[in-house]
Structure 1
Amino acid sequence: MKKAKKIAGVLLSLICILTIIFLVWAVPAYKPNFDVEAFIKSNEKVKIQIDRNIVINPLDKKAEKGVIFYPGGKVESSAYIKIASKIAEKGYRVVITPMPLNLAIFGKNKAEEVIKENSDIDIWVIGGHSLGGVMASDYAYNHLDKIKGLFLLASYPQEKFNFKDKDIKALSIWGSEDKVANLDKIKSSKNIMPNDTVFVEIKGGNHGQFGSYGKQKGDGEAKISEEEQQNITSEYIVKFLDIIK
């Protein structure tokens, strides 16, 4: 009898998991709000290659540091090409990793393949937007031998991952008008982040404008443009990358 109940419980859990996966799959992902192909062709500052991952390199120099970028939940990876290009043009290789079902929770170790496939890069920083940032934090915590820096856009680490005494640099950025992320958790993450972490609130920024996919459901109205928010964000990320050794 106990065995039958155990089997029934396992089956019920499996059905619930499969139902959740199906519902997630059925909900359309946020797509880029710009012509990706035209942007790639017209960009004269970076080289953008799309294969299993999106790899962006500067055209005027060889990148010596790499950035792994995890997309936000239910957002197509190509929606981050614009902000990633702003970072890459300053001399860095940026690799955006598409996620299964567009959810980083199903691909939090994607950074592993990126590092292996880009063996010419010795210094790596990882980060992401929203859910992507949470999963990037997970990877960074468990691979401190490979990751030198962590940046979070409208995101925060899980509480069980305390970076206080860890040898890693960190940057956290969010928008003042963000109505999607839990801003209290973002701000309170100071308690588990390295003491020298840089925390930045972008006045007038919201949640969705860290990517280029239009208005996100439930988000606040931004008081600055998408381009301005991404310019500010990329400038902070580039300054952050400059100090990583």
Structure 2
Amino acid sequence: MKKKRTWKFKLFIGLGIFLLMIAVGFFLFTSSYYKAQSYAEENLQSDSDVTVTNGKDLVFEPTSNKRNIGFIFYQGAKVEAEAYAPMAKEIAKQGYTVIIPHLPLKMAIFSPDRADKVIRNHTQMDTWLIGGHSLGGVTASDYASRHEKISALVLLASYPGSHTDLSETSVDVLSIRASHDEVADAKAIKAAKSSMPSDSKFIEIEGGNHAGFGDYGEQKGDGVATISNKEQIMQTSAAIVKLMEGLEK
């Protein structure tokens, strides 16, 4: 009887240590993330063109010439929402509201339907786009495939997941990648064309890299960009605005 109790005790202790290791590992994983840098922080300030509100959502709202078209953007995995402020503000300057939700643990996969709340909170919008960077784009693709309110999808260094098929939908898709991106799988991006509508548009930014779609510093495993992230963001924003303008016609 004593041996049996000892075996159970050792099993209990072993299980406790295993669970503790998992908890510590998860904490270390989630506590380390990419933070917004100075260029992004500058664009978090409201000005005469755009009102910036940073609450449960990070909202960029044009002060004039405002259109009833909204853009919901899911951040890349473990990247601060604020890192995408330069892109969001540039788009908002053209009259379009951009909302970047603050997602749990800075990962869209933990709240894939967060866009539901954004849409409910902005009933004045007639048309919605959703997009995302890297893993955020994968989650945004899934959302777009399941919600008729989404008119267009923007993918930055991303592609639909293996279980997402948009090929028979009326969603306008814009996919943007960078030539020096060594984080996103270029072959997977090209292979995913079959799961997108035939009229989807694909753009490659020459000289850009994976992290250059935001402003959060260097990303592990990424290629070296030969253009500034400001230039990459400007090209990205211009392409997105062109897509949004097309939705108004």
* Superposition deviation, residue 243 in structure 1: 1.4
1:17 and 1:104 map into 2 onto residues whose CA distance is 21
Q: Does 1:129 align with 2:133?
A: yes
User: What amino acid sits opposite 2:188 in the alignment?
Assistant: K
Q: Which runs of 5+ in 1 are unaligned?
A: 1-10
What RMSD over aligned residues (CA atoms) do the two structures have, in Å? 2.1
Q: Does 1:115 align with 2:141?
A: no
* Superposition deviation, residue 63 in structure 1: 2.8
The question of whether the paired residues in 2 share the 8 Å contact of 1:24 and 1:101 is answered with: no
- After superposition, residues 170-189 of structure 1 pair within 5 angstroms as 170-189=173-192
Which among 18, 22, 25 is matched to residue 27 of structure 2? 22
User: What amino acid sits opposite 1:48 in the alignment?
Assistant: V
TM-score computed with the length of structure 2 as normaliser: 0.87
Q: Which runs of 5+ in 2 are unaligned?
A: 1-14
* Superposition deviation, residue 70 in structure 1: 0.3
* SS of structure 1 residue aligned to 2:193: helix
1:235 and 1:217 map into 2 onto residues whose CA distance is 27
* Superposition deviation, residue 138 in structure 1: 1.0
- 2:87 counterpart residue number: 83
* Superposition deviation, residue 39 in structure 1: 3.6
User: Which stretches of structure 1, 4 residues or more, deviate above 4 A after TM superposition?
Assistant: 14-20, 35-38
1:37 and 1:222 map into 2 onto residues whose CA distance is 21
1:4-40 Cα shifts (integer Å, max 9, x gaps): xxxxxxx99x9597566434223x1111111766544
2:184 and 2:40 map into 1 onto residues whose CA distance is 27
**Cα distance change on mapping 1:242 and 1:20 into 2, 3 Å:** farther
**Cα distance change on mapping 1:21 and 1:142 into 2, 3 Å:** farther
2:156 and 2:124 map into 1 onto residues whose CA distance is 27
2:67 and 2:61 map into 1 onto residues whose CA distance is 7
User: What amino acid sits opposite 2:214 in the alignment?
Assistant: G
- 1:239 counterpart residue number: 242
State which structure, 1 or 2, has the greater radius of gyration over its C-alpha atoms: 2
* Superposition deviation, residue 62 in structure 1: 2.3
1:38 and 1:159 map into 2 onto residues whose CA distance is 38
User: What amino acid sits opposite 1:24 in the alignment?
Assistant: F
1:186-243 Cα shifts (integer Å, max 9, x gaps): 1111111100000011110100010011111111000111111011101110111111
2:76 and 2:82 map into 1 onto residues whose CA distance is 11
User: What amino acid sits opposite 2:153 in the alignment?
Assistant: L
Count of residues in correspondence between the two structures: 233
User: What amino acid sits opposite 2:38 in the alignment?
Assistant: F
- Percent identity between matched residues is 44
- 2:77 counterpart residue number: 73
